[in-house]
Structure 1
Amino acid sequence: MISIVGPADKGRWNIFPNSYYRNLCSYTDYFEVIANEVPIIENLITLGTTSYQVIATGSQKILYSIDDINWQESHIFENLNPDL
């Protein structure tokens, strides 16, 4: 069983993974959750029939994805299916 105690979003949290069924001992660790700024997409530029450039701003390094699985540092997407 794991108990997590802390504020609703960011700040200092406590985590209590309890080994109740093994030896009745517990361990406490502390960690901090930091909220990052969400980038803002300012523009989407067509570079041809299958390529696009994303213009985005943010205070942190931005990673880009079109499928939420594969991520890239480049803000240019090439060889996209024009039917999508």
Structure 2
Amino acid sequence: MGDEYVWLVCDDTPHDVLLTDPGARVLDVVQVVRRLTGLSLWHSKVLVTRTPAVVLARVPEEDATAAASALRAAGAVAEAREQQGPDSHWS
């Protein structure tokens, strides 16, 4: 009997939401971060002022896109990025 290999394909690659610039309306962005993460107001403000920062990690693509859109609507520069895993070189 020989060795068998299985190639797993995951359709839902985790995404990260990256905040690169809070923009001019920092308090609006802090409120959005607070709503998205559940962090306290103080922790949300610290996260926003230490950009670039990952606001959400390993979330589905739809959630990451919606979160990035909410941050952009508040005046921030944000993006949803496909998470780079340790075996991303296989793809």
TM-score exceeds 0.5: no
Q: If each structure's helix is expressed as a fraction of its own residues, which one has the higher value?
A: 2
Query: Shorter-chain TM-score: which interval?
Result: under 0.3
Q: TM-score, normalised by structure 2?
A: 0.21
Q: TM-score, normalised by structure 1?
A: 0.22
Q: If each structure's strand is expressed as a fraction of its own residues, which one has the higher value?
A: 1
